[in-house]
Each structure stands twice: as C-alpha cells, then as structure tokens.
Structure 1
Amino acid sequence: MNLSTIMNPFCLSFFALMLFLQAEAQQLPSKAMQIKTAVMAAPEDLRDGAMVYGYDTRGNWTVLREGSNDMVCIADDPNAEGFSVACYHKQLEPFMERGRELKKEGKNFKEIFDTREAEAKAGTLQMPKDGATLYSLSAAAEDYNGMNGEVKNTYLRYVVYIPWATQESTGLALKPEAPGMPWIMDPGTHRAHIMINPPKE
C-alpha cells in the first residue's frame, strides 16, 4: 500500500481539526474587546484602572489586565447565551473567587451557598465589613458584537452586599413593591445584599 494513501486520511483529518480550532478561536473576542466591554459595567471614572478577568485564545479563564484601583471586572462568558458582564469592589474578590473555585469543583448553588456561609461564619472567608457594590450589565445576544465591542440596548442593575444585614437592621423590603425599589435578598446571611433593578424602558 502506498504511504501517501495511508497518510492522506490522517492529514485531511488533522487539517480539518486545525480549521475547526481556528474557527473556534475566531469566535472568541480579542483581549482588547473583552476589556472594552467588561468595564462598561463600572462607573466611568473607575473603568481605566479596573482589573479585568476574561478568557485567553483557548477559552481558559485568565487575568486580562491588572488593575490600579478598587474595581474588578468580569468579561462576557463566550459559552453563555446573550451578553453579561459585571464589575465589583475588590472587597468582594475573596467571596467571588471562592465561588468560582467551588463551581469548578462541580458544586451546585446550594452547596456553594452553604460552604461560603460556613466559612464566612468561621472567619476563613473574608467578607466586606462596610458593604461593597457590584454592577451587572446585560444585553440580548442580537445586541452584542464581540468582535468590535459594540453593545446596544443594555440593562444595568446594582447589587450592594451587606453581609449579615436583615430587614430589621436596614428597613428594606423583602421584595420590590415598585419598579426600581431597593430590597434585601438573603437577609441574615453572609450573602445578604440590596437589589436595585431600575425600570426597563
């Protein structure tokens, strides 16, 4: 049998694989575009110095840019539907990083909640002492172009983490009774936070 006859199917398969990987890589926004869109969630005066997490050319989680202020931003997940980025105060980083670790281990929402609750009570998980804010910006898939960093019709909501706070200690409602009304979620726990969802146009 001719050697080229043996090698041709292999070469063709390898070539097809390379084309597939190249196409997959092209679907991932560049580092610059990930940074551009990630910081859109932050207040304008905090965007330039924000630390940014995102994805490398292979889709692996990585630091895209080191920061020089107190803001940490998360780029859009290319494997998730639609567009969603977030920025938060660095005091929340231990809480967020622990959540990412547990999720990577395959833990579900309740397991992650219970683990972080126990660790926060034990003092091994550091939580914000005076409150810390998270900004979440989202848009529909058709309104997002990752290749040029254009996002339209965005929706920005706010979350203020106030660990262990309750309705009694804050006077906040347990659910929104009007559009944009702040309310407290998970009161009395490490994950207690004020939700502010502005009315959608």
Structure 2
Amino acid sequence: MKKTLLFIAIMAATTISVTGQTKTNIPAPEIQIKAAVLAAPSDKRAGATVYGYNQKGEFTQLRKGTNEMICLADNPKQKGFSVSCYHRDLNPFMARGRELRKAGKAAQEIFAAREKEVKSGKLKMPGQPTTLFVYTASDDDFNAATGEVKNGYLRYVVYIPFATAESTGLPLKPEGPAMPWIMNPGTHGAHIMINPPKDKEGQ
C-alpha cells in the first residue's frame, strides 16, 4: 500500500495541474518549435522567431528568426492545443497582453487597458494591416513526443486598428462560410476575422 501511494505521489509531481486538468511534461524545445510554426504560412516557417517554455514552465525565446514572423508554442498551462504566429509589428500589442494576463487581468480589463494605452500613445499598434494565424486542436490530437498534430484547425485574423464596417465595407458578422467580417470595429483591436469551415474530420 505504501509503495502504491508513493508511486501516485511521484506521478502527480511530474504533471502540471491546471484547474483540474493535467498535462505531461513540457515538450523539448525542438518539438515546441516544430508544432508552433504549423500556424505560419509554409514559406515563413523556417525563418520565424519562436517563443515557448523551458522546463520550469517559464516563457522564453526558443529560436531567433530571420524574417518578420513570430510564433508562440502551445501553453502547457491551458487545456487544448493552440499555437499562433503573427507579424513582428504586432509584438508590442501581444506582449502587453501577456503581461496583463500574467498580472491576473481578465479579458475585458486587458482590452480596456490596451485601448487606453494605444490612444495615449504609450502602446504602439502597426500602421498597416498585420496578420495573426491561429492553429488549434484537441490535446488528444497533439503528439508531444513528435510535434505532430492531427485534425488541426487554422483561422486568420488581420488587425486594422480603428477600422469600421463603414471604412472597410465588411459586415459585423459572417453571412457565409469563410466570409470575412470585422470584430471590435472602431477600437485599437479592430480586426478582420476569417474562419474557414471545418471539414468532415473536424478540422
């Protein structure tokens, strides 16, 4: 009985507990990089800068890139697999969001804080449309040993700060599969959403 309890304690210590969810140890840097760049266009993957997590769970740069793309590895503290890549001019905006989340701010508080900072000039947004790619899957469809992902889903976001439905001609909601639409119009976070339809495999 004592041996059984000891085994259970050891196993618990090797996992990360997240609001009732657990994930195995953080994948090796090369695996995180391989999976993270799946969100980027194929011709941008080799030169992308990649951020991920060390074995202590700390957010860190895993690879310095040579092009304009920045990719983020899957967060081991969150349920589900999710990686993203975005244009480097969006990095101040993205980094500020991470700072505010780390400080315990909720989504609405983060939005309000960045809106205020952008309007005051403290936080700089890109002066041209810039793109974010997000690639997601279930935990079961991500192989942390190989970096391979099955049944992944890729969506696209194009940031155009302070744009409106009137200035772009875009609707406020999609009216058909993959139809672009504008979200948060008139704010610092205004962006075009493009959500391709999922195929029969759930992608």
Which category describes the TM-score, using the shorter chain as reference length?
0.7 to 0.9
Distance 2:116 2:56 in 1: 35
Distance 1:66 1:146 in 2: 22
Q: What runs of 5+ residues in structure 2 fail to find an aligned partner?
A: 1-5, 17-23
Aligned to 2:21: none
| Range that drifts further, 107-116 or 163-172 | 107-116
Deviation track 1:4-51 (CA, whole Å, cap 9, x = no partner) reads xxxxxxxxx9x9987765x34962110000000000000111111111
User: Secondary structure of 1:149's partner?
Assistant: coil
Aligned to 2:185: 187
| Range that drifts further, 64-73 or 181-190 | 64-73
| Aligned pair partner of 1:32 in 27, 30, 41 | 30
**TM-score normalised per structure 2:** 0.87
User: Secondary structure of 2:47's partner?
Assistant: coil
Deviation track 1:87-143 (CA, whole Å, cap 9, x = no partner) reads 000010000001111111111111111111011111111101111000000111211
Distance 2:166 2:72 in 1: 33
1:1-201 superposed matches below 5 A = 21=13, 23-24=14-15, 27-201=25-199
User: Secondary structure of 1:63's partner?
Assistant: strand
Distance 1:19 1:58 in 2: 17
Identical counterparts, % of pairs: 58
The higher radius of gyration belongs to 1
Distance 1:200 1:110 in 2: 28
Q: What runs of 5+ residues in structure 1 fail to find an aligned partner?
A: 1-12
Q: Which letter maps to 2:151?
A: N
Distance 2:55 2:33 in 1: 14
Distance 1:27 1:97 in 2: 25
**Number of aligned positions between the proteins:** 188
Q: Give 4+ residue runs of structure 1 displaced > 2 Å after superposition.
A: 15-21, 23-26
Root-mean-square deviation (CA, aligned residues, Å) is 1.9
Q: Which letter maps to 1:178?
A: G
Distance 1:16 1:84 in 2: 29
Aligned to 2:20: none
Aligned to 1:7: none
Distance 1:166 1:72 in 2: 27
